[in-house]
C-alpha cells in the first residue's frame, strides 16, 4: 500500500518498538525506551504512522515462500514430486506442517519460515500469520491504551485512529481463531511481569468479543476515506485502508463462522447452525450492501463487483508498474509486497516446465473441477443440464474458462514452440506428467494468461495478490446467513435482498442464469447449490479448507477423495475413453478441524492447552 510520507513513521524506527519471538514476547514486550510516548501518541500524524504499521502486519498468503501453497482442501492436487508442499502434507494429515520445522519444506504463509525476526517492510517471505497476529494484537492494545494522549487531533482523527485499532484487534483474533479455534481474547496491554493465566475461550465466546470490536470500529470509521476530511491528505491512495464496510464485513464473517456447524458444535455441542448468530451476521452483511456502490446501495462506499471482462483482476493484474489487483471489488487484503515475486514463485506453480514453469506444479483436482456447472446454470448431474461426457468442456459456466485449463486450450499466443502451443493433457500428452506437469488432466488458469510462458513473457508484468475478502464473498455469505438464520432462500434481512437474489447477483456478473426453481424448494437444496456456487466463484482463493471444516463435512469421503481424469484424444479433438480415478484420500480425523498450536506456546501456562488430538 502506498503511504503518505506525511503520515507514516519510519518503519525501521518502529521495528525496534516491539520484539517478535514468541506469543508471550509479542504480548508482554514493553515500549522501547528510545521512542517516547510524546513522540508517538500526541498528534494525529505520528499516531497514524504508528497505526499504519498494522497494515504491514498483513501477510500475503501467495508470496511467503518460493513455492508457497494456500489451498489446503479438496481443490488442489500437487504433482508427485511436490509432496513437500503444505497441501500435500495436509492431505496426509500432517497439520504440523504449518510451522517452521513441521514439514512441508516450510512452505507455509502461516509461520515466518525460519527467516528470523519478522520484517514489517516489503519482504513477504518474512511474514507469517501466527507471529504477526499476536504482534498486531499487542500493537493495537498499546495504541488503544494511549488514546488519551492524542490531544493534537480533531474528533474525527481520534475516531479514525481508534476505529482502526479496534478493527485490527478483532481481525487478528479472528484470523487466529479461524485456524486454531477459540483463544484468550487479549484486550489489554500485558506487562512483562504479568502472570499469564488468561482463560482460553471457546469459539463462540472469542467470536462475540471480536464482533464487538468490529461493531465499535464500524461506528468510528468512514465509509470511504477519499470522501472524508481525514482522508484528504492521502487522497487517491486510500483504497486499502480500513473502512466501516471492512469492519462490518468482518463482523459478519466472524459471526457466520461462529454460527457454522463445526464451530457451533465445538462451542455448544450442537452440530447445526446457530440461527441467532446467523441473523446477526446477515444484518452486518446487509449493512455493507446498503452502503455499497451496487444496485440498491447508497454509493457511500466504493465497493462493487468488477465487470465480467475484469473478473480476473480480483486476483491478478498485468501492468508494468505492479498495479495492485482487486479494486473496487476487493474489500480487504494485504499490501503488494515485491510484485516481481509473482513471476518467480506463483506463476511457476501453475505453468508446466516446458513453458518455463516449475518441475512440480499445482493443478485442480478433477473432483473439484466438476463443481463448475453448465452455461445454463445447472450442475453437471442435474436433469436438463445438457452435459455431454463425450464433449465435457463445451457450454460450461463462463467461470470455468477463466479458472481451468483443459485439453486443447491455447497456452502460447505466438507461433513459436508449436508443440506446446495448445495444452496436451490426454494420456501421453506432453503436459500430462504426474510428477512434473499436470497430474489431474487439468491446469489452473485463474492466476495466469496464455501469455504467461517463456515465449510471450507476459508473466514479467504480473502481480498476483489473493484478497482476504471481496464483495462476491459478502454476497454469498449473506445468502448463507439469511438461509440459515431466517429459513428459506426467499428470506431476507428486513429491507435488504433475499438469499437467492444475493446468489443471483454473483451469477449474473458471469452471465450465468438465476438459480433454478428446483433448488428453491427447500433449505437443504438451496444450501447444496450455494456450496457449489462458493466452490466456483471463489475457487483457489484459500477459502475451501475453511468452508469444508466449518460446514462439518470435511470428514465425508466425497470431500476427502481427490481424483484425476484419464482419457485419449479422439480424431475430432474430443476426449474418448475418459475415466475418473481416485489418487489421494485425504486423512481427516476430528483433530483436523483445527491446526495444532506450537508446543512451546501451549506450555506457557497449564490452562492454555493444546488443541484436542494434538
- What's residue 66's pLDDT? 66
- What's residue 338's pLDDT? 83
- Reported as a single tens digit per residue, the pLDDT across 83-119 is 888 899 999 999 999 988 777 666 688 987 554 444 5
Task: Name the residue among 76, 93, 96 with its Cα closest to residue 535.
Answer: 76
Task: Name the residue among 155, 527, 123, 176 with its Cα closest to residue 335.
Answer: 123
Helices (H) and strands (E) in the chain, counts: 21, 10
The length of the chain, given as a count of residues: 614
Q: How far is CA 170 from the centre of its chain?
A: 17
Neighbouring residues of 466: CB distance < 8 A, sequence distance ≥ 6: 61, 62, 70, 315, 333, 541, 542
Q: How far is CA 491 from CA 83, 292, 523, in A?
A: 45, 21, 11
Beta bridge pairs of residue 470:
330
- What's residue 341's pLDDT? 83
Task: Return d(Cα 361, Cα 436) in angstroms, integer.
Answer: 7
- What's residue 199's pLDDT? 86
Q: How far is CA 319 from the centre of its chain?
A: 23
How does residue 7 score in pLDDT terms, banded at 50, 70 and 90?
very low
How does residue 346 score in pLDDT terms, banded at 50, 70 and 90?
confident
What Rg value do the Cα atoms of the chain yield, rounded?
24
What's the pTM value of the predicted model, to 2 decimals?
0.93
Asked if residue 430 has pLDDT above 50, the reply is yes
- What's residue 613's pLDDT? 96
- What's residue 600's pLDDT? 80
- What's residue 520's pLDDT? 99
Percentage of residues in the chain having pLDDT higher than 70:
92
**Does 87 sit behind a cis peptide bond, omega within 30 degrees of 0 on the bond before it?**
no
Asked if residue 25 has pLDDT above 60, the reply is no
- Reported as a single tens digit per residue, the pLDDT across 306-343 is 999 999 999 999 998 889 999 999 999 998 888 888 88
Asked if residue 123 has pLDDT above 80, the reply is no
What SS3 state is found at 33? Answer: coil
- What's residue 349's pLDDT? 86
- What's residue 105's pLDDT? 63
- What's residue 563's pLDDT? 99
* Strand duo 362-364 + 462-464: pairing: unpaired
- What's residue 591's pLDDT? 98
Check if the beta carbon of residue 544 is closer than 8 Å to that of residue 74.
yes
Asked if residue 13 has pLDDT above 50, the reply is no
Average pLDDT, the chain: 91
How does residue 22 score in pLDDT terms, banded at 50, 70 and 90?
very low
Beta bridge pairs of residue 316:
464
Rounded mean pLDDT, 355-362: 87
Which class for 178: exposed (0-12), middle (13-18), buried (19 or more C-beta within 10 A)? Answer: buried
Task: Return d(Cα 256, Cα 530) in angstroms, integer.
Answer: 15
Task: Name the residue among 23, 59, 54 with its Cα closest to residue 542.
Answer: 59
Rounded mean pLDDT, 7-11: 33
Q: What are phi and psi of 105, to 5 degrees?
A: 50, 30
Asked if residue 195 has pLDDT above 90, the reply is no
- What's residue 34's pLDDT? 63
CATH 1.25.40 fits 245-334+466-542, yes or no: yes
Task: For helices 244-259 and 471-486, give the axis angle rounded to 10 degrees.
Answer: 40
Beta bridge pairs of residue 569:
575
Check if the beta carbon of residue 222 is closer than 8 Å to that of residue 447.
no
- What's residue 114's pLDDT? 52
Neighbouring residues of 428: CB distance < 8 A, sequence distance ≥ 6: none
Residue 607: how many CB atoms within 10 A of its CB? 11
Task: Name the residue among 540, 466, 359 with its Cα closest to residue 62.
Answer: 466
- Cell numbers found for residue 223: 465509509
What SS3 state is found at 462? Answer: strand
Amino acid at each position: 500500500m502506498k503511504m503518505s510520507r506525511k503520515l507514516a513513521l519510519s518503519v525501521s524506527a518502529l521495528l525496534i518498538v516491539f520484539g517478535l519471538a514468541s506469543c508471550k514476547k509479542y504480548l508482554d514486550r514493553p515500549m522501547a525506551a528510545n521512542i517516547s510516548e510524546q513522540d508517538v501518541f500526541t498528534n494525529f500524524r505520528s499516531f497514524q504512522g504508528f497505526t499504519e504499521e498494522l497494515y504491514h502486519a498483513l501477510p500475503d498468503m501467495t508470496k511467503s515462500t518460493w513455492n508457497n501453497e494456500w489451498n489446503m482442501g479438496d481443490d488442489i492436487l500437487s504433482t508427485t514430486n511436490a509432496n513437500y508442499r503444505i497441501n500435500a502434507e495436509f492431505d496426509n494429515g500432517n497439520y504440523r506442517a504449518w510451522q517452521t520445522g513441521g514439514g512441508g519444506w516450510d512452505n507455509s504463509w502461516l509461520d515466518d519460515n525460519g527467516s528470523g525476526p519478522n520484517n514489517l517492510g516489503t519482504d513477504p517471505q518474512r511474514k507469517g500469520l501466527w507471529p504477526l497476529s499476536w504482534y498486531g494484537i499487542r500493537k493495537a492494545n498499546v495504541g488503544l491504551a494511549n488514546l488519551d494522549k492524542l490531544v493534537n487531533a480533531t474528533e474525527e482523527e481520534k475516531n479514525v485512529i481508534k476505529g482502526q485499532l479496534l478493527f485490527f484487534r478483532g481481525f487478528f483474533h479472528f484470523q487466529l481463531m479461524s485456524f486454531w479455534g477459540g483463544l484468550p481474547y487479549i484486550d489489554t496491554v500485558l506487562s512483562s511481569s504479568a502472570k499469564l493465566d488468561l482463560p482460553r475461550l471457546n469459539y463462540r465466546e472469542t467470536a462475540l468479543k471480536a464482533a464487538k470490536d468490529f461493531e465499535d470500529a464500524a461506528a468510528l470509521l468512514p465509509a470511504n476515506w477519499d470522501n472524508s476530511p481525514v482522508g484528504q491528505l492521502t487522497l487517491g491512495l486510500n483504497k486499502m485502508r480500513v473502512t466501516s464496510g471492512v469492519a462490518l464485513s468482518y463482523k459478519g464473517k466472524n459471526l457466520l463462522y461462529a454460527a457454522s456447524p463445526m464451530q457451533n458444535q465445538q462451542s455448544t455441542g450442537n452440530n447445526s447452525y446457530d440461527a441467532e448468530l446467523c441473523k446477526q451476521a446477515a444484518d452486518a452483511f446487509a449493512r455493507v450492501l446498503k452502503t455499497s456502490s451496487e444496485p440498491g446501495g447508497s454509493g457511500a462506499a466504493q465497493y462493487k463487483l468488477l465487470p465480467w471482462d475484469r473478473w480476473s483482476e480480483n486476483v491478478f493484474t498485468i501492468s508494468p508498474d505492479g498495479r495492485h489487483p482487486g479494486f473496487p471489488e476487493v474489500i480487504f487484503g494485504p499490501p503488494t509486497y515485491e510484485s516481481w515475486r509473482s513471476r518467480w514463485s506463483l506463476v511457476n506453480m501453475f505453468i508446466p516446465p516446458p513453458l518455463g514453469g516449475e518441475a512440480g506444479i499445482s493443478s485442480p483436482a478433477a473432483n473439484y473441477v466438476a463443481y463448475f456447472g453448465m452455461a445454463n446454470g445447472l450442475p453437471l448431474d442435474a436433469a436438463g443440464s445438457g452435459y455431454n461426457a463425450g464433449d465435457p468442456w463445451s457450454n460450461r459456466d463462463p467461470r470455468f474458462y477463466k479458472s481451468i485449463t483443459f485439453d486443447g486450450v491455447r497456452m502460447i499466443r505466438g507461433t513459436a514452440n508449436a508443440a506446446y502451443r495448445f495444452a496436451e493433457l490426454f494420456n501421453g500428452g506432453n503436459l500430462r506428467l504426474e510428477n512434473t506437469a499436470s497430474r489431474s488432466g487439468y491446469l489452473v488458469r485463474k492466476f495466469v494468461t496464455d501469455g504467461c510462458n517463456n515465449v510471450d513473457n507476459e508473466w514479467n508484468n504480473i502481480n498476483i495478490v489473493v484478497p482476504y475478502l471481496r464483495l462476491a464473498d459478502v454476497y454469498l455469505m449473506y445468502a448463507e446467513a439469511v438461509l440459515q438464520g431466517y429459513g428459506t432462500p426467499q428470506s431476507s434481512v428486513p429491507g435488504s435482498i433475499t438469499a437467492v437474489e444475493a446468489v443471483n447477483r454473483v451469477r449474473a456478473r458471469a452471465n450465468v442464469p438465476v438459480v433454478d426453481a428446483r433448488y428453491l424448494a427447500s433449505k437443504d437444496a438451496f444450501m447444496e447449490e450455494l456450496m457449489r456456487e462458493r466452490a466456483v466463484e471463489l475457487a483457489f482463493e484459500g477459502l475451501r479448507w475453511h468452508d469444508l471444516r466449518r460446514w462439518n463435512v470435511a470428514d465425508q469421503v466425497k470431500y476427502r477423495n481427490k481424483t484425476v481424469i484419464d482419457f485419449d484424444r479422439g480424431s475430432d479433438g474430443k476426449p474418448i475413453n475418459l475415466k475418473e480415478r481416485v489418487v489421494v484420500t485425504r486423512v481427516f480425523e476430528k483433530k483436523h478441524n483445527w491446526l495444532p498450536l506450537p508446543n512451546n506456546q501451549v506450555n506457557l501456562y497449564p490452562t492454555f492447552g493444546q488443541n484436542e488430538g494434538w
